[in-house]
Amino acid sequence: MRGRWGIVWLLLVGGLLSSPLEAQPGSRGPFPDWARESWWMRRNGFEPLWMLRGVSVIDVRTGEVGEPTDVVIRGDIIESIGSAPDLPAAQVVDGKGRFVMPGLFDLHAHVLPPSPRFGTTMKAEDTLLQLVRHGVTTIRLLPLASESGIAWAAQTGTGRLRGPSIVPASTLFEQTAQRTSQGFGTPETAAAWVAREAWLGARWIKVYNSMDEDSLRAIVEAAERHGLKVCGHTADVPPHRAAALGMHCIEHITGIPRSALNPALRPPRFESLAERTAWYWENAEDERLGQLLETLLEHGTSWVPTLVVTEAIAENGSHDGSPAASEDVRHRMTAAVRKGARLAVDYHRRGGKVGLGTDFPVDDVEPGASAIREIELLVELGGATTAEALQIATLGSARVLGFENLVGTVEPGRLAHLLVLKGNPLEDLSHLKSIELVVVDGRRLDLD
């Protein structure tokens, strides 16, 4: 706790000291706007009160739309839904003919600085703004360095940076370091690294590819001692074993079929990640996939399938240096993504925790727009209804984080993470691109 809040207060106080304390243009007091509207100001009696008038609320639990009503927001909380008394004009947003829904999540996000090494050109602050412009109000950030993710979380949390709420994860862990990961060597060293990340303020530990069962067990046990959760790949440890060892969340569809192969089958040598992914899904047995879902359910394991990045791998190659896929492999990859999407939707229908993630900016996956594409893939390839896909993108993702009683629905007492849309996305998902207003922690964001 001390490390996490120390960083928050350092950033907060540093910002205040660097800003003159006279009234700022357009403000209502002696603090800059970002500080005046931060959570600590609200908790000390400075809670902005405003209202969305005449909006239709989308219930992502039921897939139904309510009659036009008023949504009152005090500070960062939805105070009430229903006919509300008049407020001063400056505190009322006319929502007549508009639809309000929870903000979207992206649970597999990488915010990187411009770097030829990773092919990124967008500044971090521009990436964060791009996310909220597309309706993403919460991300689980999987950084290359946990310190940067925790710092960005503090700045978006106080409103100094325009962007989503950030749940920071650790540096990427695996036994043998690669260009984007931290190598830990032994289970004992891994446990020490977990303690360090917890002290810095990470809320999740991200494990990467090279990993044996003893190391994964040590990481999970250390994480749970510090109140953290573990997410990651299932490359060396197949998903059914990762679930049994306590991994809280499995990332991607690429490792899932490893638990569904006939043990007598030996994989050939592959030329690319796309070819390998296609082969594994082609040879995964349906009965074994069903058994895997039951195992994940038994252990309460979450799954973030990141369909959109798998689709991109077929088109663009991969960040691991694999060449772009041939036309034949692309067709096979499309079939693999379809099979993975259907399995994810099946897991959701069985009561499993499925969240939305994209893996941007890997393989040129675009921040923000990719979240909407992921929702479309759940419908187009996975067979989900629009209501099911929107639930996965909101309440389902909140369940993965353990925040379902805090965010992910439009209800009194929940955090005000809201999208105001011109049309009803339950009828047509393209209306997710008709955003008029984005609200994060009760703040109406300027998206220009």
Calculate what percentage of the chain has a pLDDT beyond 70.
Answer: 84
**Model confidence, pTM:** 0.88
Least confident among 53-62, 144-153, 154-163: 144-153
pLDDT digits (tens, 9 = 90+) for 297-325: 999 999 999 999 998 887 776 666 667 77
C-alpha to C-alpha distance for 96 and 269, rounded to whole angstroms: 59
pLDDT for res 45: 56
pLDDT for res 171: 82
The residue ranges of every structural domain in the chain are 22-101+408-444, 104-401
Measure the CA dihedral 311/102/348/167, to 10°.
70
Residues paired with residue 383 on neighbouring β-strands, in sequence order: none
CATH for the stretch 104-401: 3.20.20.140
Residue 16: which pLDDT band, with cuts at 50, 70 and 90? Answer: very low
pLDDT for res 56: 98
C-alpha to C-alpha distance for 19 and 22, rounded to whole angstroms: 9
Calculate what percentage of the chain has a pLDDT beyond 90.
Answer: 63
Q: Is the dihedral of CA 170, 118, 111, 308 positive or negative?
A: negative
C-alpha to C-alpha distance for 239 and 252, rounded to whole angstroms: 11
Q: Where are the beta strands (DSSP E) in 142-194?
A: 165-174, 182-183
From the options 3.30.1600.10, 3.40.50.880, 2.30.40.10, 2.40.50.100, give the CATH code of 22-101+408-444. 2.30.40.10
pLDDT digits (tens, 9 = 90+) for 232-278: 998 889 999 999 999 999 999 999 999 999 999 999 998 888 888 99
Residues paired with residue 51 on neighbouring β-strands, in sequence order: 72, 92
Least confident among 140-154, 231-245, 280-294, 420-434: 140-154
C-alpha to C-alpha distance for 216 and 237, rounded to whole angstroms: 8
Residue 6: which pLDDT band, with cuts at 50, 70 and 90? Answer: very low
269 CB-contact burial (10 Å; exposed 0-12 / middle 13-18 / buried 19+): exposed
pLDDT for res 149: 83
- CA distance to 79, 84, 377, per residue, from 308 (Å): 36, 41, 7
pLDDT digits (tens, 9 = 90+) for 161-214: 899 999 999 887 776 656 555 667 788 888 888 998 999 899 999 998 878 899
pLDDT digits (tens, 9 = 90+) for 70-114: 999 999 999 999 988 888 877 999 999 999 999 999 999 998 877
373-375-381 Cα angle (round to 5): 90
C-alpha to C-alpha distance for 250 and 263, rounded to whole angstroms: 22
C-alpha to C-alpha distance for 183 and 351, rounded to whole angstroms: 35
Mean pLDDT of 395-423: 97
C-alpha to C-alpha distance for 55 and 416, rounded to whole angstroms: 15
**321 Cβ neighbours under 8 A, 6+ residues apart:** none
pLDDT for res 217: 94
411 close to 394: Cβ distance less than 8 angstroms: no
Report phi then psi at 9, rounded to 5. Answer: -70, -35
318 close to 273: Cβ distance less than 8 angstroms: yes
